[in-house]
Structure 1
Amino acid sequence: MSVEVDVLLQEAKESIEAAQNYRSELQQRLHGLNQARKQVRGSSSQARENLRRHFAELQAAATRLLAERLSTLLAEVDAIEADSVRPLDDCQSLIEHGVGQADELLREGEAALRCGLGEKEDKLGSFTKKAMHIQLDSYPHIFLLVLCVFQFTRETRWRIGSLVDEDFAAAEYRLQHRRSGSGGSHYEDSYIGRDCEFLVLHLDPHAEYLFRVCARGEGRTEWSPWSIPQTGYTTLAAHEWRPGTEGYILSSRRNIALRSDASQSRCPVLYSNAATYFCGQTLTFKISAASQMDPRDSLGVCVDSEREAESLQRDQAVCISTNGAVFVNGKEMTNQLPAITLGSVVTFDMEVVNLFPISNNNLSEGGNFKLRVTLGSGNREVVFDWLVDQAVDCLFFGCSFAHSGWKVLVF
């Protein structure tokens, strides 16, 4: 065999060996790919199972929560329905009671007419007395009293719809309210009187309240059934005094301030916690405790609350002193109101008059925005225009007392 054949044979053997190694390597890599594919498929199957289980749990939880929410809402509807139907049930009971009385009276009357002569006089006398007692000429007064609640002004107004007697004139009304969703059914008396409207105070803003009203006629002691409850709420923030002012103690609702410490000669001003007085409203101060008067004392409203002043008798403020003097932008008016004492009620009503174009004349007058103020104290009031430096839609209120012992409620 020649050398060339040997070389070719050797190369062939090496190629065969290389092909075997190549095939073996590829087979190992193919095996690795198969293993990787099994792992991917296994992981995917596990992920699918986890997702199905997770979403099944979510669906179960969502179904449970929705069922609970539905149950709660249905319970609320049931409660509202029961609360609304109750006045109608009361009306029906009252009418059915009257029908029952009439049926019984008819039976007695017919029996009296049929009885013998010996019993007729007694039977007819008893029948006549009972008929007079029932007052057959006077129907029971059944009303549908419809409430109209005005959220912005917190005013509650009602109108009367009679089911029986169109000419009936209610002599007195009774208004009640309670917080909606409080978990109880206890209503508080808000008002008893002849007026058909009433301002309900001390309501929390953005909280729903239920209102109902009933009436009674002249000379009657029993009230009519309650109206169907109506929901109302207020968006107005409550008037509050600013906490932390030296020399003043506030009530828990921050609507009552007591001048507590007058050891220093200063007469600090206690401002409202925010600018919560809006034009078009009535701001009321009620004096529940009085003390020694001082010319620096003041009750009023102002544009800002940052000035270091010992009284509201300053620029950009209107006020009344405890001696009845009225101040506008720090200047005392010639008109004077009654002195402020225990039980005094001071009211501020304001409306925007107009906007002035800025000019030298306006600036010399002290402002370019005019508010018309009606200030009342006791049985008197004064009306005047107040010029301020800028357009305002809400104002602060405040008070200052030189001597301790003064207590004032704001609403």
Structure 2
Amino acid sequence: HRGRMSVEVDLLLQEAKESIEAAQNYRSELQQRLHGLNQARKQIRGSSGQAREALRRHFAELQAAASRLLAERQASLLAEVDTIEAGSIKPLDDCQSLIEHGVGQADELLREGEAALRCGLGEKEEKLGSFTKKAVHIQLDSLPEVPALVDVPCVSAQLDDSLLSLLRERVSRHGSVSSHPPVLIEELQERPGGILVRWCKVDEDFAAADYRVQYRRSGSGGSQYEDAYIGWDCEFLVLHLDPHVDYLFRVCARGEGRTEWSPWSVPQTGYTTLAPHEWRPGTEGFILSSRKNIALRNDSCQNRCPVLYSNAPTYFCGQTLTFRITALGLMDRRDSLGVCINTLQGEESLQRDQAVCISTNGAVFVNGKEMTNQLPAITVGSSVTFDMEVVNLFPISNNNLSEGGNFKLRVTIGSGNREVVSDWLVDQAVDCLYFGCSFAHSGWKVLVF
């Protein structure tokens, strides 16, 4: 009986412990949801405050600018009135001066005439003669012409309410408020040394002409946002990112026929755990960029066609490996771009066993054998992509050995708008591969990512 009681107590204790653990997990989940709610509330209130401040600042600037423009226009029109008035009054002032001068001469002549009439007989003849000569000189029958009122300016101001009506119409449609930005980041995919950013429109009424992507390091010590992409596409691979570092990404759009950008999307955090693809330094015949992701074939070994390998086996199945050609040299049948299981010294091409590659003329080679299907020849700006997936695991058999491998990888090589799919048999299961290139002539320049 005691044993049965002990078992029952143990069961109750176990149930109690499980209930306590479940309650703790339940409380933790609820607390996480509360944190999510607080973050959502913070975003709503924070963005609303920023929107209010942006509206107040914008319309205050508009009011100040409009007031300044109206004051400038008023001053300009008043200056025109002043100019017309001054230019029209001057001839009248000149005429007035001439008339007043004539009045003064007439007054003086009248005084002399009256004095001549009053003088004695001895002086009368002399005085009257002098008076007559002066009267003739003044030309008393010549009068200045005074312009009629219809011939002088009558200044007026022509004003109407059309500007106010137009302003009222434009102001009523100026600006808008939305609960969400017109575009948002849909996905962030880690890539070697970078992150693939995908975005989409959420406002179907917004006609986007182009998009703009920015990024910056996350955290208190993060840098300022910098542009990563401006263009039509809805995805972009941001390269040259440090592994295991959080970055913030945001996107906006510009409407058709508009110059201003839309509001930014809510920033999303992304990071990559994959080391960047790098070429192996120190290979004769090649010069590398500072980040070791660009290789230039020089003429230091003109008589050989060296193979440049990656610094480490950083390509994994399921990823996309891209070679981008940024400069050309002369083509050669030994030229190759591709992936391989191992690195071999002294080889002149990846057209060998345990490798898959494409030549610059578009020929595809699997384990050194040229395939029937061919891709377009490589030109400046060409991007060659490699995608691989594990097909299945073969049991060892004579047939498989004769084909050269026990494991099969399906390789998709893309160039231009075409793809070639081939099955690649290898000797052992692999989870990471080297990549490489070879060019017989100098001038070739290739970026890998």
TM-score by length of 2: 0.62
- The match for 1:156 among 186, 197, 200 is 197
Quickly say closer, same or farther: Cα 1:141–1:394, change in 2 above 3 A. Answer: same
Quickly say closer, same or farther: Cα 1:272–1:89, change in 2 above 3 A. Answer: farther
Structure 2 residue aligned with 1:224: 262
Question: Are positions 1:91 and 2:129 aligned together?
Answer: no
Question: Are positions 1:143 and 2:183 aligned together?
Answer: no
**Identity score, percent:** 70
User: In 1, are the aligned partners of 2:196 and 2:238 still within 8 Å (CA)?
Assistant: yes
User: In 1, are the aligned partners of 2:325 and 2:380 still within 8 Å (CA)?
Assistant: yes
1:384 Cα shift? 1.4
Question: Are positions 1:396 and 2:434 aligned together?
Answer: yes
1:379 Cα shift? 2.8
Structure 1 residue aligned with 2:381: 343
Deviations 1:279-308 (A, max 9, x none): 121111111221112111111110111354
Structure 2 residue aligned with 1:259: 297
Partners in 2 of 1:146 and 1:323 — Cα distance? 41
User: In 1, are the aligned partners of 2:307 and 2:437 still within 8 Å (CA)?
Assistant: yes
Amino acid at match of 2:231: G
Partners in 2 of 1:139 and 1:84 — Cα distance? 17
| Corresponding residue SS for 2:401 | helix
Deviations 1:309-365 (A, max 9, x none): 211000010111122211110011122222223322211111222222222222222
Paired residues, number? 311
Deviations 1:203-247 (A, max 9, x none): 121122121222233322211222333221101110000011112
1:269 Cα shift? 0.8
Partners in 2 of 1:408 and 1:127 — Cα distance? 62
Amino acid at match of 1:400: S
Larger Rg: 2
Deviations 1:77-119 (A, max 9, x none): xxxxx9998765543345557888999xxxxxxxxxxxxxxxx
Partners in 1 of 2:47 and 2:212 — Cα distance? 14
1:154-193 equivalences in 2 (<5 Å): 154-160=195-201, 167-181=205-219, 183=221, 185-193=223-231
Quickly say closer, same or farther: Cα 1:262–1:331, change in 2 above 3 A. Answer: farther
Question: Are positions 1:209 and 2:247 aligned together?
Answer: yes
- The match for 1:315 among 348, 353, 372 is 353
Q: Runs in 1 of length 4+ with deviation above 6 angstroms?
A: 82-86, 97-103
Deviates more, 1:173-182 or 1:320-329: 173-182
User: In 1, are the aligned partners of 2:356 and 2:365 still within 8 Å (CA)?
Assistant: yes
Deviates more, 1:373-382 or 1:175-184: 175-184
Quickly say closer, same or farther: Cα 1:397–1:137, change in 2 above 3 A. Answer: same
Deviations 1:166-214 (A, max 9, x none): 7434443211012235846422211223443322222121122121222
Structure 2 residue aligned with 1:11: none
Amino acid at match of 2:444: W
* Two-structure CA RMSD over aligned residues (Å): 3.2
Deviates more, 1:318-327 or 1:180-189: 180-189
Quickly say closer, same or farther: Cα 1:388–1:351, change in 2 above 3 A. Answer: same
1:34-45 equivalences in 2 (<5 Å): none
Partners in 1 of 2:238 and 2:200 — Cα distance? 17
Question: Are positions 1:367 and 2:405 aligned together?
Answer: yes
Partners in 2 of 1:141 and 1:94 — Cα distance? 13
| Corresponding residue SS for 1:204 | coil
Amino acid at match of 1:127: L
Partners in 2 of 1:101 and 1:122 — Cα distance? 26
Question: Are positions 1:274 and 2:312 aligned together?
Answer: yes
- Structure 1 unaligned blocks of 5 or more: 1-81, 104-120
Structure 1 residue aligned with 2:87: none
User: In 1, are the aligned partners of 2:296 and 2:444 still within 8 Å (CA)?
Assistant: yes
Amino acid at match of 2:419: E
Partners in 2 of 1:305 and 1:83 — Cα distance? 52
User: In 2, are the aligned partners of 1:143 and 1:160 still within 8 Å (CA)?
Assistant: no
1:273 Cα shift? 0.5
Question: Are positions 1:288 and 2:248 aligned together?
Answer: no
User: In 2, are the aligned partners of 1:262 and 1:403 still within 8 Å (CA)?
Assistant: no
Question: Are positions 1:387 and 2:425 aligned together?
Answer: yes
User: In 2, are the aligned partners of 1:151 and 1:235 still within 8 Å (CA)?
Assistant: no
User: In 1, are the aligned partners of 2:285 and 2:301 still within 8 Å (CA)?
Assistant: no
Structure 2 residue aligned with 1:132: 169
User: In 2, are the aligned partners of 1:91 and 1:225 still within 8 Å (CA)?
Assistant: no
Amino acid at match of 2:308: L
Structure 1 residue aligned with 2:447: 409
User: In 1, are the aligned partners of 2:285 and 2:300 still within 8 Å (CA)?
Assistant: yes
User: In 2, are the aligned partners of 1:208 and 1:231 still within 8 Å (CA)?
Assistant: yes
Structure 1 residue aligned with 2:367: 329
Quickly say closer, same or farther: Cα 1:338–1:158, change in 2 above 3 A. Answer: closer
| Corresponding residue SS for 1:126 | helix
User: In 1, are the aligned partners of 2:302 and 2:441 still within 8 Å (CA)?
Assistant: no
Structure 1 residue aligned with 2:344: 306
Amino acid at match of 1:156: V
1:78-117 equivalences in 2 (<5 Å): 89-96=49-56
Deviations 1:121-148 (A, max 9, x none): 934x333211232353984556345435
Partners in 2 of 1:230 and 1:84 — Cα distance? 16
Partners in 2 of 1:134 and 1:97 — Cα distance? 16
Amino acid at match of 1:398: G
